[in-house]
Structure 1
Amino acid sequence: MKTQLIYNNILNIVTVITVTMFFSCNDSFKQVQKMGISENEPIGIDYNINLKYTDSGRVTANLISTKALDYSNRDFPFNEFLDGVTLYVYDKDNKKSTVVADYAIVYSNTDLIDMQNNVVITTYDNKVLKTEQLFYDKKKEWLYTNEPVSFKTETDIIHGNGFDSNSKFTNAEVLEVTGIITLED
């Protein structure tokens, strides 16, 4: 009888431990599954990127970068270009403009591009914009910043705090102009 009582107590203790472990392991397993694809880590990494965008068989842009991180697994997805980016944009007459930045983020949901650090845009007609941060709204085809800028046109170099323009630079405007240098022929 005493042996049966000890056996039942041991069986009850083992059952309680097993059930406790089962439920705690179940929660831990779910946590481990979540850790497999962490929101803080990129879902993919691309190296030596050379993307060409086409429209009706014609190359309209060429994006070059050494490294990009894909965070499309986030609630607000984006791609991050850590080592810089160079973008060549071709107009309908195949005239090339160049955009260079040391760092860029492309936000998928908003079609907003944030370029940072040594941002330089050189248009096919030799206009040059330099700034430390520039945003490009792909839907509106609009460039803007509130950072200090230097904008070189055919006749002037204009310094200011901010810039607004369409993507073709046909209505480019330096905001809060701090200085103008007129270029001689």
Structure 2
Amino acid sequence: MKQFKWFTGIFLPALFMAVLLLACENDLNQVKKISALEASKPVDSTLGVDVIYSDSAKVRAHMTTPLMLRQNPTDPNKGFYEMPKGVKIVFYDDKLNQKVAHFDADKHIVSTVTSDYAITSNMDKLIELRKNVVVKNTEGAVFTTQQLFYDTNKKLIYSNVACQMTKPDGTALDGTSFTSNETFTNYAFKQGKGTIATSGKLGQ
């Protein structure tokens, strides 16, 4: 009887620990395999990126980011660019051409967009901005959201998540989504609500 108690009191805990260690080792090996696969993915990194978007000799936008990661650079059709340290995009009016872009570009700014993160692909020419997205236009309006898309082909900017807009005159609007042109002068909110500042009395 004493021998049987020793067997159940010593051997079973030891067997349990062996199984547990084996399971941990298998999990560790799986983690190593996943890490090795991630490390083997081709990535190009570039510091201090400065990109000009133009159309028919007209400068449309200027994008800057401190760090750009190019994922899958071996396939230009499937590769995409990631900007994990944030991005800034400046939009210009139609009067700014490539010849004078470096001299008086600031005079032609119509809106600016900043975010903490951005990603874009080579195929759809769509830039997605995420986290603390802030837009400012020349009218002083400020748009804020957590996700914003810029379709460079259609010259369309839109968001499918909650967004807010405030103006210096006290106007404040909220919406579940919105669309806008590049200058943020022609925009529309979906299910918008808020306060619109007016001058004078209503009905006059």
Q: Same fold (TM over 0.5)?
A: yes
Residue 123 of structure 2 aligns to a residue whose secondary structure is: coil
Q: Between Structure 1 and Structure 2, which shows a larger proportion of strand residues?
A: 1
Residue 109 of structure 1 aligns to a residue whose secondary structure is: coil
1:133 paired to 2:147: yes
Displacement after TM superposition at 1:89 (Å): 1.7
1: distance between equivalents of 2:66 and 2:185?
32
1:105 paired to 2:119: yes
Counterpart of 1:131 in structure 2: which amino acid? T
What residue number does 1:117 align with? Answer: 131
Q: Between Structure 1 and Structure 2, which shows a larger proportion of helix residues?
A: 2
1:88 paired to 2:99: no
8 Å CA contact 2:91, 2:182 repeated in 1: no
2: distance between equivalents of 1:53 and 1:171?
21
Task: Spell out, residue by residue over 1:4-56, the C-alpha distance to the aligned partner (whole angstroms, 9 max, x if none).
Answer: xxxxxxxxxxxxxxxxxxxxxxxxxxxxxxx8x94x331x1011223344567
Counterpart of 2:65 in structure 1: which amino acid? S
2: distance between equivalents of 1:85 and 1:119?
10
Pairing of 1:17-96 with structure 2 (within 5 A): 38=40, 40-42=41-43, 44-53=44-53, 59-71=59-71, 72-74=73-75, 76-93=78-95, 94-96=107-109
Distance change >3 Å, CA 174–CA 154, structure 1 → 2: farther
1:160 paired to 2:161: no
8 Å CA contact 2:116, 2:132 repeated in 1: yes
Among 160, 166, 171, the residue aligned to 2:186: 171
1:147 paired to 2:161: yes
Displacement after TM superposition at 1:148 (Å): 0.7
1: distance between equivalents of 2:54 and 2:149?
23
Counterpart of 2:183 in structure 1: which amino acid? K
Counterpart of 1:83 in structure 2: which amino acid? K
Counterpart of 1:171 in structure 2: which amino acid? N
Counterpart of 2:74 in structure 1: which amino acid? N
CA RMSD of aligned residues (A): 2.6
Identity of aligned pairs, percent? 29
Distance change >3 Å, CA 102–CA 146, structure 1 → 2: same
Task: Spell out, residue by residue over 1:137-180, the C-alpha distance to the aligned partner (whole angstroms, 9 max, x if none).
Answer: 11111111121100235752110111112223343111122x31
Distance change >3 Å, CA 58–CA 124, structure 1 → 2: same
Task: Spell out, residue by residue over 1:67-120, the C-alpha distance to the aligned partner (whole angstroms, 9 max, x if none).
Answer: 100123356221100000011222124421211010001111001111000111
1: distance between equivalents of 2:89 and 2:116?
12
Which has the greater radius of gyration?
A: 1
Counterpart of 1:67 in structure 2: which amino acid? L
